[in-house]
Structures are given as C-alpha cells and as structure tokens.
C-alpha cells in the first residue's frame, strides 16, 4: 500500500500554500517577540530564515517543473539531478546559517529559528494533507 502514490495531483499546492501562510504568521509573532525582548537582530534573522525557506521551496518547485519527464524511460538520472540540486541548495543555506551564527550570533540563531518555524509548519501541513487523503 503506497500512501504517497495515492496523493492527488494538487497535494503540493495544498501543502505549500498553508505552509507559507502559517510560517509567515508564526514568523511575525517571533519577530514581534524578538523586538519585545530587545533583540532586533534576532527578529531580522527570523525574517531571513523564513524568507530563505520560502525561496528554497519555490526554487525546488521550479526545478521539478523544469525536469523533462516525457521521453525518460529510466528515472534514475532525474532523481540524481534533483538530489544534486537539493544538496547544493541545502548546503548553501546551511553554510549561510552557520556563518551567521559564528559572525553575528543573534542574527544567525534568528535565521535558524525562522528555518525551523518553516519546517515545522511544512511537516504539520504535509501530515494533515496525507492524513486527509482517502486510501482505497
């Protein structure tokens, strides 16, 4: 029984839109709390983290849409290409986050918090969509 194979074609849209809205909402709360706690760099970092996560999701979606799947008999080269692109993107994001933590700790930690807010939102929304999928 393949649960992921049973997802509807619009599942990604049903995951990404609520994820971005939820992450932005919690990011605004985190931004306000950081300012209230007198840490403006952390507030900016949270905004940067959520912005980078949304950009990453958009680039991933655009990359998947650009992959030519019509004339492909073997999916391994496509998977390898997507895996390499994801590895490069996530490595750059990780390097930037670590660099900011080392150079300006409040800014870097704020960025990491923004990334975490987005990922938690993504997992919750993906779980919601998967659990609401009718398995036949």
Please indicate, yes or no, if residue 104 is contained in any of the structural domains.
Answer: yes
Please indicate, yes or no, if residue 68 is contained in any of the structural domains.
Answer: no
Measured CA to CA, the distance from residue 34 to residue 39 in angstroms comes to 5
**Buried/exposed 101-133: b ≥16 CB within 10 Å, e otherwise:** beebebbbbbbbbbbbbbeebbeebbeebeeee
Q: Containing H/E element for 114?
A: helix 105-131
| Sequential pLDDT tens for the chain (136 residues) | 444 455 565 677 788 889 999 999 999 999 999 999 999 999 999 999 999 999 998 888 777 667 666 666 676 777 787 788 889 999 999 999 999 999 999 999 999 999 999 999 999 998 988 888 765 4
**What residue numbers bound the domain in which 85 lies?**
10-61+74-131
Task: Give the per-residue pLDDT at 3.
Answer: 47
Token output for 114: 């923004």
CB of 82 closer than 8 Å to CB of 64: yes
Please indicate, yes or no, if residue 116 is contained in any of the structural domains.
Answer: yes
Total of domains in the chain: 1
Please indicate, yes or no, if residue 23 is contained in any of the structural domains.
Answer: yes
Please indicate, yes or no, if residue 120 is contained in any of the structural domains.
Answer: yes
Please indicate, yes or no, if residue 69 is contained in any of the structural domains.
Answer: no
Please indicate, yes or no, if residue 67 is contained in any of the structural domains.
Answer: no
Token output for 62: 């655009």
Please indicate, yes or no, if residue 36 is contained in any of the structural domains.
Answer: yes
Task: Give the per-residue pLDDT at 1.
Answer: 41
């Amino acid at each position: 029984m393949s649960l992921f194979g049973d997802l509807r074609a619009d599942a990604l849209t049903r995951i990404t839109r609520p994820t971005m809205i939820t992450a932005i909402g919690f990011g605004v709360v985190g931004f306000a709390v950081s300012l209230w706690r007198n840490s403006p760099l952390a507030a900016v970092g949270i905004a940067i983290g959520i912005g980078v996560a949304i950009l990453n999701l958009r680039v991933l979606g655009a990359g998947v849409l650009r992959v030519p799947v019509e004339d492909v008999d073997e999916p391994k080269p496509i998977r390898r290409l997507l895996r390499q692109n994801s590895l490069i993107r996530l490595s750059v994001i990780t390097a930037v986050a670590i660099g900011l933590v080392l150079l300006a700790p409040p800014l870097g930690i704020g960025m990491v918090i923004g990334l975490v807010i987005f990922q938690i939102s993504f997992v919750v929304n993906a779980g919601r969509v998967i659990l609401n999928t009718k398995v036949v």
